[in-house]
Amino acid sequence: MRKLQKYLDDFIGIFFPDLCLACMDEHPMQDDILCVECYYGLPETGFHLIDKNQMFNKLAGKVWFEKATALFYFQKDGPTQKLIHNLKYDDQINVGIYLGKYYGVILKRSNWCHDIDLIIPVPLHKRKLQKRGYNQSQLLAEGLSESLGIPYSKKALLRVTNSKSQTKKNLLERLYNVESVFQANPRFSLKGMHVLIVDDVMTTGATMVACADAIYEVTKDVKISFVSMLYVE
């Protein structure tokens, strides 16, 4: 039976070859997502090993938080950009779960999340969620939750305004664009918790700051940390 399945997989592979979702080439695969070369060559930041890392310093002074980390550096037109593009725009939801689980293993090994009580993905507005069909940050949170053994909630934080894309905006425009966009769910108490806000890409930090501000409006008795899959220098 196993030999038959292998022959079937090989036959299907002739017409539908497995492509690495980072370089989009047909190479020997390390797993279902990445080829061997990309798996070992993606630019990890190592931020979880540095208290006041680049991401921490970029957010410092904008909002009160405990710690911040990101998995990979963003590379324009490079493998990391392609990974996130496949996740956000090409319905490759397996990329989100994979990256979350991947980073979760790293963070668990370093004990970075030892005091986190709840993982909260940056929410999408219901219109955008309906159009896309999924929230990429929620997929990342699911993967992190599975690896870390920490619950996540998609209901703790709400997006009440359907803001425009942040992609081509500068810092001030990004801050204005997400002002009053998020709202902590009054039916979901975060009092006394240490929560981890998860986003896919961290550029200026405006989205993360807005999420934290929304939570602090409901309760001050909460600790907040941040994690992103990509960090833009």
1 and 84, same domain (yes or no): no
142 and 210, same domain (yes or no): yes
127 and 208, same domain (yes or no): yes
Stretch 18-37: mean pLDDT: 77
Q: What is the structure's pLDDT at 179?
A: 60
What domain count does the chain have? 2
Stretch 59-78: mean pLDDT: 95
139 and 216, same domain (yes or no): yes
pLDDT tens string 174-221: 444 556 789 999 889 999 999 999 999 999 999 999 999 999 999 999
5 and 79, same domain (yes or no): no
57 and 135, same domain (yes or no): yes
CB-based burial, 207-224: b 16+ in 10 Å, e otherwise: bbbbbbbbbbebeeebbb
**Least confident interval from 24-28, 70-74, 86-90:** 24-28
User: At a CB cut-off of 8 Å and minimum separation 6, what does 21 contact?
Assistant: 33, 34, 82, 83, 86, 92, 95
34 and 81, same domain (yes or no): no
Q: What is the structure's pLDDT at 48?
A: 98
199 and 211, same domain (yes or no): yes
Q: What is the structure's pLDDT at 168?
A: 54
Closest CA to 138 of 108, 180, 99: 99
CATH, residue 209:
3.40.50
> What whole-number percentage of the chain has pLDDT above 90?
58
| Pairwise CA distance, residues 125 & 5, whole Å | 42
Whether residue 117 is predicted with pLDDT greater than 90 in this model: the reply is yes
Check residue 70 and report its DSSP letter.
E
pLDDT tens string 133-173: 899 999 999 999 999 999 999 999 999 886 555 455 555 44
> What whole-number percentage of the chain has pLDDT above 70?
83
117 and 204, same domain (yes or no): yes
Q: Are strands 182-184 and 68-73 parallel, antiparallel or unpaired?
A: unpaired
Average per-residue pLDDT in the chain? Answer: 85
Range of the domain at 121: 44-231
64 and 163, same domain (yes or no): yes
| pTM recorded for the entire structure | 0.83
Query: Cβ distance 230 to 203 under 8 Å?
Result: no
9 and 64, same domain (yes or no): no
